[in-house]
Amino acid sequence: MSAAAKAPESLKKNYLTALREALDEEFGANPDALCMGEDIGILGGAFGVTEGLQSKYGKDRVIDMPISEAAIIGAAVGAAMNGKTVVAEMQFIDFISCGFDQIVNMMATYYYRTAGEVNMPVVVRGPAGAYGGGALYHSQMNEAWFCHSPGLRVVCPSTPYDAKGLLKASMRDGNPVIFYEIKELYRQREIEEELPASDYIVPLGQAAVRREGSDVTLVTYGNNVYHCLKAADALAERGVSGEVIDLRTLVPLDETTIFKSLAKTNHVVVVNEAPRTCGFAGEVVARICDSAFDLLDAPPVRVTRLDTPVPWAKPLESFVLPSTEKIVDAALRVVRF
């Protein structure tokens, strides 16, 4: 086939490519932007999110760091104090715990401690989540740790469009952001979509209604958005209309969109793949009970991971995690209450 006869390249982008484009565009627009992490330069990151950025922007801006999350985040905080916008990659979000002190006691508090004189434009990003057989050290969703720490914004996109727009918004926000990338979505072809050629952001703190419905509200984020959408399909076959809300940003939380949905459906199921005890699903339920209890016709229900590490064996992993079937069962219990 001649070059002239070749089929045109698809304009659709996957989740991973969307993230790489966000970094590339922000680096091009902001000469003070830096990226730090393990193997992010020559290797391009464990999953390839930073591939090609070091050769384009240089080793002084895309910096390979030692295997020390505390050092990576500590260096990021220092650079941000000196006017840089820093993206710190955790090779897996599980190991963010090694930099926990730097995040919650330094990064999160610095704007407050300086009475607003010093911004802290740091985005700590990395691959997160289960469903891929990564076992206990490569499957965590530990977002509730950081939702509990004042001063941090917490973001978790589920689509390529949002991955790009939310990462760009996070880099421009000026506040420290913990950015959860769902590794099971990185190269998933089913969710690829065309992205605008022009610059855009997705504002932090705005949820998205992924599917409208009238009988039950399914509130979720990340990979569980797709479980909820499939559950809504299954519920429709049973005559139940499910509305699916993708939070996108956990902190700040868009309560308005949740309550607006509850005013229609009067029933709610909250889904997340983190453990049940003290998980973010419980926070969403608490806020509903605090501020929208009169809209409910049944108690809210949570569908979460069991309070256990994520097993390696696939049948056990599936047993402990949320699934489409578990969400359907929960929704039916709620609407039949």
Confirm whether 200 is domain-assigned: no
Q: What would the pLDDT profile of 232-250 be if each residue is shown by its tens digit?
A: 999 999 999 999 999 999 9
Regarding whether 255 and 190 lie in a shared domain, the answer is no
Confirm whether 3 is domain-assigned: no
Regarding whether 175 and 260 lie in a shared domain, the answer is no
Helix (H, G, I), strand (E, B) or coil at 292: coil
Regarding whether 115 and 244 lie in a shared domain, the answer is no
Q: What is the pLDDT of residue 203?
A: 98
Residue 98 is given by DSSP the state: G
Model confidence at 94: pLDDT above 90: yes
pLDDT band at 317 (very low <50, low <70, confident <90, very high): very high
* 107, 128, 153, 209 from 142: Cα distances, Å: 17, 9, 14, 24
Q: Residues 26-61, buried b or exposed e (16+ Cβ, 10 A)?
A: bbeeeeebbbbbbebbeebbbbebbbebbeebeeeb
Q: What is the pTM of this model?
A: 0.95
How many other C-beta atoms lie within 10 A of the C-beta of residue 117? 8
Confirm whether 1 is domain-assigned: no
CATH number reported for the structural domain that contains residue 121 in this entry: 3.40.50.970
Q: Both tokens of residue 283?
A: 């926070």
Regarding whether 326 and 241 lie in a shared domain, the answer is yes
Number of domains in the chain: 2
Q: What is the pLDDT of residue 109?
A: 97
Helix (H, G, I), strand (E, B) or coil at 259: helix
Q: What would the pLDDT profile of 114-147 be if each residue is shown by its tens digit?
A: 999 999 999 999 999 999 999 999 999 999 999 9
Regarding whether 308 and 219 lie in a shared domain, the answer is yes
Q: What is the pLDDT of residue 4?
A: 43
Confirm whether 203 is domain-assigned: no
**Host domain of residue 213:** 208-335
Regarding whether 185 and 325 lie in a shared domain, the answer is no
Torsion of CA 236, 238, 243, 245, to 10 degrees: -100
Regarding whether 231 and 175 lie in a shared domain, the answer is no
Confirm whether 134 is domain-assigned: yes
**Boundary (domain end) residue, out of 194, 222, 252:** 194
Q: Output the average pLDDT for the chain.
A: 96
Q: What is the pLDDT of residue 11?
A: 80
Query: Looking up tokens 């209604």, which residue turns up?
Result: 209
**Boundary (domain end) residue, out of 194, 226, 242:** 194
Regarding whether 23 and 159 lie in a shared domain, the answer is yes
- Region 197-218: mean pLDDT is 98
Helix (H, G, I), strand (E, B) or coil at 279: coil
| Known catalytic membership, residue 138 | yes
Regarding whether 228 and 182 lie in a shared domain, the answer is no
Confirm whether 6 is domain-assigned: no
Query: What length does the chain have?
Result: 337
Confirm whether 202 is domain-assigned: no
- DSSP state string for 30-89: -TTEEEEETT-SSS--SSSTTTTHHHHH-TTTEEE--S-HHHHHHHHHHHHHTT-EEEEE
**Contact (Cβ atoms closer than 8 angstroms) between residue 217 and residue 262:** yes
**Contact (Cβ atoms closer than 8 angstroms) between residue 148 and residue 280:** no
Confirm whether 323 is domain-assigned: yes
Burial of residue 169 (CB within 10 Å: 0-12, 13-18, 19+) is: buried
Distance CA 284, CA 286 (A): 5
Number of alpha carbons in the 13 Å side-chain half-sphere of residue 26:
30
CATH number reported for the structural domain that contains residue 282 in this entry: 3.40.50.920
Q: What is the pLDDT of residue 10?
A: 52
Q: Residues 224-259, buried b or exposed e (16+ Cβ, 10 A)?
A: bbbbbbbbbebbeeeebbbbbbbbbbbbebbbebbe
Catalytic residue among 138, 148, 227, 267: 138
Short-list 259, 258, 303, CA closest to 279: 303
Higher pLDDT, 4 or 189: 189
Q: What would the pLDDT profile of 2-22 be if each residue is shown by its tens digit?
A: 444 444 445 899 999 999 999
Q: What is the pLDDT of residue 2?
A: 41
Q: Both tokens of residue 321?
A: 């995690």
Regarding whether 213 and 188 lie in a shared domain, the answer is no
Regarding whether 190 and 215 lie in a shared domain, the answer is no
Regarding whether 137 and 173 lie in a shared domain, the answer is yes
**Boundary (domain end) residue, out of 164, 194, 224:** 194
